[in-house]
Amino acid sequence: MKAYTEMSRTELEASHSRLISEYEALKAKGLKLDMSRGKPGLDQLDLSMDMMSVLDSSSSLKSEEGIDCRNYGELTGIGEAKRLLAEMMEVEPDEIIIYGNSSLNVMFDTVARSYIHGVMGNTPWCRLDKVKFLCPVPGYDRHFAITEAFGIEMINIPMTASGPDMDMVEKYVNSDPAVKGIWCVPKYSNPQGITYSDETVLRFAALKPAAPDFRIYWDNAYCVHHLYEDDQDVLVEILDACKKAGNPDMVYKFSSTSKISFPGSGIAAIAASKANIKEIAALLSVQTIGHDKLNQLRHVRFFKNLDGIRAHMMKHAELIRPKFKIVLDTLESGLGGLGIGSWYNPKGGYFVSFDSMDGCAKKIVRLAAEAGVKMTGAGATYPYGKDPRDSNIRIAPTYPSTEELAEAMKVFVVCVKLASVEKLLEK
């Protein structure tokens, strides 16, 4: 197939005429399809329904330590829940605090605590003239929304195939005391599906921050979200790496069961050094007397251990792997060789990242919306919603049915072609 970039104007005009006809035919179908967020499909939610019956009115509602989970107390979580999440997050149970259902809430609280109270005796960020955060891009829009909400200046750090550009990270962190943190999704990153290399993680652990209160915000949301049982990425554990590098307090590590059990009713956790955990718990004790221990108990009795979580995640993989295949096969068959787009083939996570020709992403998303396919807004994967190249689009395959997804991807491919041809004709 001839690349669009190699076509003559006459060939482009002929292609444009055909594409307009295809696009109008798709619009006439009156589709209403949603690929805007990375939500589990209904069949995935059904996988956890037995969790609803592991506790009932006749169940023992005491933890292994005899704690009555109906009552107040156990600020950092019941022992067996800490052990389960610690195993999943590859840390020790005394390095973890179990929260409610949302790791995003935990991350917001962590930034807010630093902003209002400071970190380990350092000046609260609200009293500083300037606070900066590094943001690997493309990245997670909700991370960027948190730091934007606090007026923190965000700095783009380009992603590479092995993780963030570490030369840039080291330059900023090691020389600028206003740089207080960096957002990271280190395994099956949102949206590209990249897992940080061993070298990248070890370079993170060896940072020499100019700011004593600098922290790595390590959102390991997809730590067990593999698509394949026999082909999985492996990530160096960051807390252990930081300890060995002499930086035990430099990282906050986040995770949850939101896309393992029920997204709205999971359990979330933060892992950090014992010194960090002590400081966090002191302020947390003012916020709450304890999170939902019945939900913690429910999760432990359903999953039992890490092997239970892994087996459950393979059930998820069986459901979503065909959806990723639809996306990737449609991109390859529809756009391969045309020179108007590129994409990653992830081994896990929840997204496929697509890069169009520069200046086309917003138009592609608009055309798709007009044809009845709702996608994540172009620019959402960059701080302030501003993609400097207007090229990145996050594709979220999990929520639609396979039939809906196949239809949506047909629309997407036509929209990419149409926007690209029109961009080339402008030149």
Residue 208, pLDDT > 80, answer yes
Mean model confidence pLDDT for the chain: 97
Average pLDDT of the segment spanning 307-326: 98
Give pLDDT tens digits for 131-142: 999 999 999 999
Q: Which residues are CB-neighbours of 142 under 8 A, at least 6 positions away?
A: 104
State CA 274 to chain mean position distance.
26
Burial grade of 240 (CB within 10 A; 0-12, 13-18, 19 or more): middle
Give pLDDT tens digits for 57-105: 999 999 999 999 999 999 999 999 999 999 999 999 999 999 999 999 9
Residue 365 structure tokens: 């998303």
> Strand, helix or coil at 384?
helix
pLDDT bucket at 355, cuts 50 / 70 / 90: very high
Give pLDDT tens digits for 249-264: 999 999 999 999 999 9
State CA 305 to chain mean position distance.
24
- In one-letter notation, the amino acid at residue 232 is Q
DSSP string, 194-227: ----HHHHHHHHT---SSTT-EEEEE-TTTT-BS
Residue 63 to residue 92: CA distance in whole angstroms: 19
Residue 1, pLDDT > 80, answer no
Yes or no: say if 297 and 55 are a contact pair by the CB < 8 Å rule. yes
% of the chain residues with pLDDT over 70: 100
- β-strand pairing of 373-375 with 33-35: parallel
By 3-state DSSP, what share of the chain in percent is helix, strand and coil, each rounded to 5? 45, 15, 40
pLDDT score, position 297: 98
Q: At what angle do helices 79-89 and 293-303 cross, to 10 degrees?
A: 60
pLDDT score, position 349: 97
Give pLDDT tens digits for 107-116: 999 999 999 9
Of 221, 143, 150, 220, the C-alpha closest to 183 is: 143
Tokens 């060789």 -> residue? 337
* Domains parsed from the chain with CATH numbers: 4-44+310-426 (3.90.1150.10), 63-304 (3.40.640.10)
Q: What is the pTM of this model?
A: 0.96
Q: How far apart are the first and last CA of the chain?
A: 22
Residue 65 structure tokens: 């330590």
Residue 112 to residue 196: CA distance in whole angstroms: 27
Residue 369, pLDDT > 90, answer yes
Stronger pLDDT, 37 or 413, i.e. the higher one: 413
pLDDT score, position 413: 98
- Dihedral (Cα; 217, 222, 223, 229), 10-degree rounding: -160
